[in-house]
Structure 1
């Protein structure tokens, strides 16, 4: 049975409010430490009642969970786009990095807040590790999902190469964009593309004539 238009509208409004509250939480947690921030602060920043905040999130820890999930979601979308490329070439990987860097810049404030708040918000020492591992397992699965791309390479090696490429990309973007590490090179992504092409070499094809 198809959802009614009214139901669809309610769901859309609920999702919009959810995103609005997370945006407000980023604003508040950028200005205040996690332990000092209050649900009332987030409600005020979002322009809603405190009851509305509690209707979406039982507490601050759940808000941080949602922020971390948002970061992992954006990263997942980026790796899905890389996995969806018909061919991996140096030019294609470099073009993908340009788009991924833009996504990371847009997500940098959320990542900074989530990184700072997560240690205080986690309800068990292993929760963050489990979430991290599960997210990265998804990214790796995307990148090795096409056996034709990895012909001649065993599953163990292809998975490790994919994981190393993910970690290389993530750590570099974290330092360069989230931490704002100053770099002296004119084109940092050129060097990152070199590194990824080396790690993914068995699955990377030669660029066509005139490639980057």
Structure 2
């Protein structure tokens, strides 16, 4: 390694750190702005002002307001993927285990990331690119249920993946209206219904075609 390479490496690492810190700062500030004013009423200028930054820096990180809304949701995706990995790893598939998972992990996720969910739904209604990304997130979440999909091979593989995806999208729509938009539901009743739906479908998928 030359002396020049030795000198550039720490400098590049510092620049990368600066870039990441700025990226996270804009995401954090966007979350606060969206939480306070809503997605539609908020502007890129509001986010830039909250971050004490510049439009040039903002556009070095994000294409537009919809892009930062999608980025905000993407930051929550590891936590979202984890809840489906938990469902894939039940020591024993029982209705009680499914209900407990829904209660603790699924509803907990949607309550914790309510702002992220709100803004990505608003953004994808106006931006086909964000809508396409959102659909792919759903597919990726369905793939986390792979232990239930293993017996579905060949032409049936897509059938199983689609069934899992529909199960997730149905859950997402309910949680969005209930936990994010505040449509009232009886929690215990909804948990009972969701547990029935998920337990039956997971049993069906596990059994194979």
TM-score normalized with structure 1 length: 0.71
1:143 and 1:107 mapped to 2: Cα distance?
A: 21
- Which is helix-richer, 1 or 2? 2
SS of alignment partner, residue 123 of structure 2: helix
How many residue pairs align between the two structures?
Answer: 197
Gaps of 5+ in 1: 206-212
1:96 and 1:10 mapped to 2: Cα distance?
A: 42
1:22 to 24, 27, 38: 27
Tell me if 1:67 matches 2:72.
yes
Query: Where do 1:23-172 residues align within 5 Å?
Result: 23-32=28-37, 37-70=42-75, 72-97=77-102, 98-120=104-126, 122=127, 126-145=128-147, 155=157, 158-172=160-174
TM-score normalized with structure 2 length: 0.72
- How has the CA–CA distance of structure 1 residues 35 and 174 changed in structure 2, closer, same or farther, with 3 Å as cutoff? closer
Contact 1:144 1:150 in 2 (8 A): no
- How has the CA–CA distance of structure 1 residues 118 and 92 changed in structure 2, closer, same or farther, with 3 Å as cutoff? same
- How has the CA–CA distance of structure 1 residues 129 and 81 changed in structure 2, closer, same or farther, with 3 Å as cutoff? same
1:147 and 1:119 mapped to 2: Cα distance?
A: 31
1:186 and 1:61 mapped to 2: Cα distance?
A: 35
- How has the CA–CA distance of structure 1 residues 6 and 79 changed in structure 2, closer, same or farther, with 3 Å as cutoff? farther
How far residue 42 of structure 1 moved from its aligned partner, in angstroms, is 1.0
How far residue 89 of structure 1 moved from its aligned partner, in angstroms, is 2.7
How far residue 156 of structure 1 moved from its aligned partner, in angstroms, is 5.2
- How has the CA–CA distance of structure 1 residues 87 and 10 changed in structure 2, closer, same or farther, with 3 Å as cutoff? farther
How far residue 105 of structure 1 moved from its aligned partner, in angstroms, is 0.8
Contact 1:22 1:63 in 2 (8 A): yes
2:206 and 2:28 mapped to 1: Cα distance?
A: 38
- How has the CA–CA distance of structure 1 residues 101 and 34 changed in structure 2, closer, same or farther, with 3 Å as cutoff? closer
2:178 to 172, 176, 179: 176
How far residue 48 of structure 1 moved from its aligned partner, in angstroms, is 3.8
SS of alignment partner, residue 182 of structure 1: coil
